A and B are shown apart, each in its own frame.
Chain A
């Protein structure tokens, strides 16, 4: 019996070594330092780093901290108390591809709706980019990871809610998936409105590729919003009952 145990242990060790040897370079995301309460929807805010991963001097560190702080406040405001914004410490994706199917599943099972991280390219100008992993969007518009370049991240964040536009959008989609249609509509409408202001106007963010992908996403969101309004109208006494469909059968978001 002992011989069998030893023999089987050796086989298992061999499997283990093979598995370790096959470990991929991807998936370098650590756990979130403070993942928050299990029952609440959550937004993970990862580290904001300097390009190349260098630490920079004290001034640069202050700037990185400020961006992190403004980003968290921005997301808190735009989620309207529907999600808990969590500081994830040193968690940071080396590559957007770190957000693979397993990572999305893990986030979804923790009720994380959005994960945000940032890279500061030029500390003097403040240029850089913010990354967004939109967890509930994955089934409808994969890979659901967007990197938004900005000429001055800190100024953009100071100016208002624009950078948090994804928060109501993902919360609305999640409510829609949970068949809470009446709750989903205001969030979807707010998200659409905020994202449109990010994509258009004088202070539009992102490059052409980003805008194209966002327009595709907005098309899907519009379909979901119309479907949510249609379903919400089925409930007797619904406040959406007064909304009338346009000639093409779609709806205009209530003001």
Chain B
């Protein structure tokens, strides 16, 4: 009789000699079955655990990643909230900054107030350089210098992108201011871009294609001289590395 086979109902005949023999065989069989069952139970638990793990693994990974990313996302959200709050507060100062009857000293004072918003004020100052009136422009330059004292990387990156632009997004006056402040703020990472401006401006006709308002010869000379001066300034900060 093998495992799994159903035995037909029959009458058990008990004889003295055979009873002992059959009892031992049954015992052995039971033991065999128990061993098999134990073996099967062990393997089954492992399979079961593996199955559970397979199901849970993506969730566990996701939970770990979520935990790790939570802080970053929270920070980004908080940063965004601060930025929005800063922009709202700056909005109240901006109209005063662009008034026609503003004298230079007042423009500088307003710029100082705006510079207190740090990195959030940088795009605003760059825009004022581009579209602002005379005194507001002076104030915007001062504001960028103020922010550069506490957060130089932000100012450097913004002004570096100004001088990198050659598709007429900015006026030559904005290029001029950007070059000046890049030197004053020791923006050594902009060194190659400054060198590139100086080396590839070539002529007033060529430079006219880079900017929105076509400069005259004296204006081209002014930008070229500023690029050379800034390059020299940055070379003093990083002798030999600025090529």
Contact = CB atoms under 8 A, between A and B. Distances in A.
| Chain B interface size range | 35 or more
B78 A110 contact: no
Interface stretch (B142-150, B158-166, B194-202): B142-150
B137 interface: yes
B176 A109 contact: yes
Nearest to A103: B104
B238 interface: no
Interface in A99-125: 102-103, 106-107, 109-111
Contact of A9 (B100, B109, B118): B118
A69 to B, nearest CB: 22
Interface of B: 75, 78-79, 82, 100-105, 108-109, 112-113, 115-118, 133-138, 142, 146-147, 149-151, 173, 176, 213-214, 216-219
A40 to B, nearest CB: 12
Interface in A130-185: 174, 177-180
Contacts of B138: 102, 106
Contact of A109 (B82, B147, B173, B217): B173
A255 interface: no
A90 B101 CA distance: 8
Contacts of B112: 15-17, 19-20
A13 B116 contact: yes
Interface residues of A, number: 41
Given A35-B134, A106-B134, A12 B105 contact: no
A243 interface: no
A111 B116 CA distance: 33
Q: Identify whether the interface residues of B are mostly helix, strand, loop, or mixed.
A: helix
A16 B113 contact: yes
A30 B116 contact: no
Nearest to B110: A20
Nearest to A20: B109
A27 B151 contact: no
25 contacts: A8-B151, A9-B118, A12-B116, A12-B117, A13-B116, A15-B112, A15-B116, A15-B146, A15-B149, A16-B115, A16-B146, A19-B108, A20-B113, A23-B105, A23-B108, A29-B135, A31-B102, A31-B133, A31-B134, A89-B100, A103-B104, A106-B135, A109-B173, A109-B219, A177-B217
A209 B133 CA distance: 35
Contacts of B142: 19
B134 A110 contact: yes
A32 B134 contact: yes
7 interchain residue pairs of minimum CB distance: A16-B112, A27-B104, A19-B112, A12-B116, A31-B133, A178-B217, A20-B109
